[in-house]
Amino acid sequence: MPRMTMIEAIRDAHVVAMERDENVVVFGEDVGYFGGVFRCTQGLQEKFGKDRCFDSPINEAGIVGTAIGMAAYGLRPCVEIQFADYVYPAYDQIVSEAARIRHRSAGDFTCPLTVRMPTGGGIFGGQTHSQSPEALFTHVSGLKVVMPSNPHDAKGLLIASIEDENPVIFLEPKRLYNGPFDGHHDKPIIPWSKHPLGEVPAGHYTVPLGKAVVRREGSAVTVLAYGTMVYVAEAAAEESGVDAEVIDLRTLHPLDLETIVASVKKTGRCVIVHEATLTSGFGAELAALVQEHCFYHLEAPIRRVAGWDTPYPHAQEWTYFPGPARLAAALTDVMEG
Amino acid sequence: MAETAPLRLNVPEPEVRPGGKPDFSNVKIPKAGTVDRPPVDVAPADIRDMAYSIIRVLNRKGEAVGPWSGTLTPEEALSGLRDMMRVRAFDRRMLMAQRQGKTSFYMQCLGEEAIACAFRKAMEDGDMNFPTYRQQGLLIAGGYPMVDMMNQIYSNTHDPIKGRQLPVMYSSKSHGFFTISGNLATQFVQAVGWAMASAIRHDTKIAAAWIGDGSTAESDFHAGLVFASTYKAPVVLNIVNNQWAISTFQGIARGGSGTFAARGHGFGIPSLRVDGNDYLAVHAVAKWATERARKNLGPVLVEYVTYRAAAHSTSDDPSAYRPKEETDAWPLGDPVERLKNHLVAVGAWSPERHKQAEAEIDAEVLAAQKQAESYGTLHSGPKASPRDIFEDVYDTMPPNLRRQRQEAGY
Ligand SMILES: Cc1ncc(C[n+]2csc(CCOP(=O)(O)OP(=O)(O)O)c2C)c(N)n1
């Protein structure tokens, strides 16, 4: 099986989707000739022509707004926002328009649109290249929200998103584009070419939206993670010596509640970890659900480990977002508590 | 029924791509000194053609000619030359510092030094700029200490903004430099608001808004124009057209309009284009525009025609999307060379003194760098306290942040 970086897997997903369906069009800032600043769309314009892959003006509202119009015509646009931090000008188009078109037209119009964006920190990108806005989208009815943690899932989830009949927010942890990190800030990343999850099947396959996966089996506590935090969770499990079960959510909305509930009922404990700011973060939703569905199985309060409630700091990002030490402390804590 | 041919999508393309021969024949450049200088209270409709021409002062022989010349004495021009040389030396050092891993990121303004440096000299203390990341010249020409800029770039213990912002995202109220956002164009409409506030308070200060050619596509640019036009805000609306927005050529943002300056026409805003590589022309136009704004005659839109000679940022590789030789083929030359040649031609400067000045400025920049590095760099030396992360989110720290700060151990 070929091994790929996450960038290559995302590119491959585009190729597969565009070959199978001529309605798939791809555009965004620097996306056409150059192939995007992270090169996720490199070669698509050459292969499919400028009708199918092109550069857009720097106007995120325009990118998403025109994509909605294209979807209304019958195309399947997959657009790139250069960084998740720049999605806000398009927020109105996504939240007030894309998310509601099916509902408000009683299915007369639909919006099969995918909005991709690099997300998260760990690359010294400062406050405008590092944010994790997933909770701003999971709160919106009508959207699906996806965040892969490895090349295999990235390709399968992206094809599924493009083929999905609904608007999908596809968040790509840029920290994982070239290789997973070991959970620690001071060690080099492992290349995907040496990592089992760098194995990406050729051709068409999908990873279904709404299905989580158990990344590490354990019996003492369930860790709910997604994106970069999956690696932090694995590292924290090793570091703490706590027999943690790590679940990679993959899709935040719709959420795979079944897998979560089964795991927490088994372990009796739950720790949630995300990079985004704590207050009203997606962890709050997860904690509420676990409490609702597993209350009588819980042996300790649910814990959340997250980014601090501050803007994202450039120089101190490794203090800002959770590392294995903070998560390991929480794991030890729930075992004692 | 008449037959209708199938529709086709138009996606603009630059004249040439890597491997091709640079071609700027589409940039129509009038001779220096040939564009009129209207009175500052001219009616916008009477100068519509100025949005399609280019105001130039310095000719090929280094002479300053025409109605826009003469706003600066040779001494002032010389100080402008030094400002530009400082900016260039500063960029060179900081680029190297990034390559050496002392900081995470850097953005040069190579080839565009004249614009911010000359504009700054046409402003007055108390005026406010709303810059982008490529106007370091505003700070340097405004006398802001280079060492403080470096402290910001290094996110060290003396960083005025405490390691919170990406390198080059400076902030200095006292130097008329609004805190930079990485989100393009957001500052453009804010500049208009600042200018409106000055008018509301019957103050005498004006604002300057700054934006790149690519970013004029953003809705905030258009929001800025409509508010500036409606309220006749005392603001100079600056568009730096350096031909490229990362890999995307200016035609993608400009679309069917003749020029970026012509965007002002729909709003009744007087709109001029100027040779951005001509320090004297930039200064003259900046003087005209700031004077008009200060006399309560409303906003002016200025397009600076220039070229981004270097990469977009330290994360960019321009050879992937434009011919390598394109920089040298740029027909408006190099701003430092042009002003230097002019000053030599008028007998105020010499190649020897220029060389000497270069050495002096290099030493000055190096000394600033040494000082800044003694306070630490991003990856070595003393560090700012993680406590700083939690400060200034609110005016007083709310309980959730206090708890989190304690949890973090500070
Ligand atoms: C809202 C927003 N969208 C996208 C970006 C990413 N981005 C940063 S710089 C840039 C190009 C800007 O080009 P231009 O306005 O021409 O200015 P220049 O860099 O050429 O000086 C882009 C797309 C951003 N910073 N903010």
Mutate to test the pocket of ligand 1, among B210, B246, B305 (most ligand atoms within 8 A of CB): B246
Whether the predicted pLDDT of A80 surpasses 80: yes
**Token match 């729909």: residue?**
B266
Report the C-alpha gap between B233 and B119 in whole angstroms: 19
Q: Is B20 in the pocket of ligand 1 (CB under 6 A)?
A: no
- Report the alpha-carbon distance of residue B47 to residue B207 in Å, rounded: 23
Residue identified by tokens 């021969």 is B21
B161 lines ligand 1 (CB under 6 A): no
Q: What is the pLDDT of residue B384?
A: 80
**Percent of chain A at pLDDT exceeding 70:** 99
Whether the CB-CB separation of B121 and B80 falls below 8 Å is answered with yes
Distance B184 CA to ligand 1 centre (A): 6
What is the structure's pLDDT at A186?
64
Q: How is domain A213-336 classified at the CATH fold level?
A: Rossmann fold (3.40.50)
The residue of chain A with its CA nearest to that of B253 is A57
d(CA A110, CA A128): 32
| Cα(A255)–Cα(A139) distance, integer angstroms | 12
Any idea where the domains of chain A sit in the sequence?
A: 6-198, 213-336
Does the beta carbon of A128 lie under 8 angstroms from any beta carbon of chain B?
Answer: yes
Max intra-chain CA distance, chain B? 80
Whether B2 has a pLDDT exceeding 80, the answer reads no
Average pLDDT, chain A: 96
- Residue B300, SS3 per DSSP: strand
Read off the pLDDT of each residue in A275-280 and give the average, rounded to a whole number.
98
Q: What angle do CA B303, B204, B87 make, to 5 degrees?
A: 45
Cβ–ligand 1 contact at B162 (below 6 Å): no
DSSP, collapsed to helix, strand or coil, labels residue A270 as strand
- Dihedral (Cα; B13, B19, B21, B23), 10-degree rounding: 30
Q: CA–CA separation, A148 vs B298, rounded Å?
A: 51
**Among the residues of chain A, which ranges form H helices?**
6-20, 44-48, 60-73, 91-92, 101-104, 134-138, 151-163, 229-240, 257-267, 282-294, 317-320, 324-336
Strands A221-225 and A244-248: parallel
User: Residue B245 C-alpha to ligand 1 middle, in angstroms?
Assistant: 6
Searching chain B, which residue's CA lies closest to the CA of residue A52? B9
Q: How far apart are the CA of A270 and the centre of ligand 1, in A?
A: 42
In 3D, which of B201, B196, B254 has the Cα closest to residue B224?
B196
Structural domains for chain B: 44-379 (3.40.50.970), 385-410 (no CATH)
Does residue B256 have a pLDDT over 90? no
The answer, for A57 touching chain B at a CB cutoff of 8 Å, is yes
Q: CA A8, CA A196: separation in Å to the nearest integer?
A: 15
Q: Which residues, including other chains, have CB under 8 Å from residue A236's CB and lie 6 or more apart?
A: A183, A223, A244, A324, A325, A327, A328, A331
Q: Is B283 in the pocket of ligand 1 (CB under 6 A)?
A: no
Is residue B326 scored above 70 in pLDDT?
A: yes
pLDDT of residue A189: 80
Q: Does A51 touch chain B (CB under 8 A)?
A: yes
Q: How high is the pLDDT of residue B1?
A: 63
pLDDT tens-digit map of A209-228: 999 999 999 999 999 999 99
Average pLDDT of span A43-61: 98
For the cut 70, the answer to whether the pLDDT of residue B298 exceeds it is yes
- Give residues with Cβ within 8 angstroms of B360, minimum separation 6: none
Residue B397 touches partner A, C-beta closer than 8 Å = no
Burial code (b: 16+ CB inside 10 Å, e: under 16) for B73-98 equals eeeebbebbbbbbbbbbbbebbbebb
Residues on chain B touching A308 (C-beta within 8 angstroms)? 389-390, 401, 404-405, 408
Looking at residue A337, what is its pLDDT?
A: 72
pLDDT digit string (tens) for A98-137?
999 999 999 999 999 999 999 999 999 999 999 999 999 9
pLDDT at residue A277, rounded to an integer: 97
**CB within 8 Å of A15: residues ≥ 6 apart:** A43, A44, A47
In this predicted model, what pLDDT tens digit does every residue of B40-76 receive, in sequence order?
999 999 999 999 999 999 999 999 999 999 999 999 9
Question: Rounded CA gap, A115 and A161, in Å?
Answer: 9
**If you average pLDDT over every residue of chain B, what do you get?**
97
Residue in A139, A135, A100 with CA at minimum distance from that of residue A119: A135
Catalytic residue set of A: 129
Alpha carbons B46 and B27: distance in angstroms, whole number: 24
Q: Choose the closest CB to A315 out of B181, B384, B390.
A: B384
Q: Which residues 6+ apart lie within 8 Å of A325 measured at CB?
A: A236, A239
Q: What is the mean pLDDT of residues B233-245?
A: 98
Helix (H, G, I), strand (E, B) or coil at A130: coil
Regarding the beta carbon of B367 and ligand 1, being less than 6 Å apart is answered no
| CATH topology classification for A6-198 | Rossmann fold (3.40.50)
Cα–Cα distance, A162 to A336 (Å, whole number) = 45
Q: How far is CA A67 from CA A17, A28, B83, B209, B405, in A?
A: 17, 10, 46, 30, 43
Burial class (CB in 10 A: 0-12, 13-18, 19+), B325: exposed
Is the pLDDT at B119 greater than 80? The verdict is yes
Reported confidence tier of residue A184, pLDDT bands at 50, 70, 90: confident
Short-list A137, A119, A148, CA closest to A250: A148
Query: Where would I find the H helices in B232-302?
Result: 250-254, 279-294
Q: Is A280 on the interface with B (CB under 8 A)?
A: no
Phi, psi for residue B198 in degrees, rounded to 5: -60, -40
- Counting one residue from chain A and one from chain B, the pairs whose CB atoms sit within 8 A come to 126
Quick count: other Cβ atoms within 10 Å of Cβ A253? 22
- Determine the Cα–Cα distance for residues B32 and B54; give it in Å rounded to an integer: 9
Whether the Cβ atoms of residue A118 and residue A154 lie closer than 8 Å to each other: no
Q: Which atom from ligand 1 is nearest to the alpha carbon of B182? A: 25
Asked if the Cβ–Cβ distance from B401 to A51 is below 8 Å, we say: no
Ligand 1 centroid from CA B214, angstroms? 7
- Residue A330, number of CB atoms within 10 A of its CB: 23
DSSP state string for A218-242: -SSEEEEE-TTHHHHHHHHHHHH--
pLDDT at residue B382 in the model: 86
User: Nearest C-alpha of chain A: how many angstroms from B60?
Assistant: 35
What ipTM was assigned to the predicted interfaces of this complex? 0.95
Residue B314 forms contact with A (CB below 8 Å): no
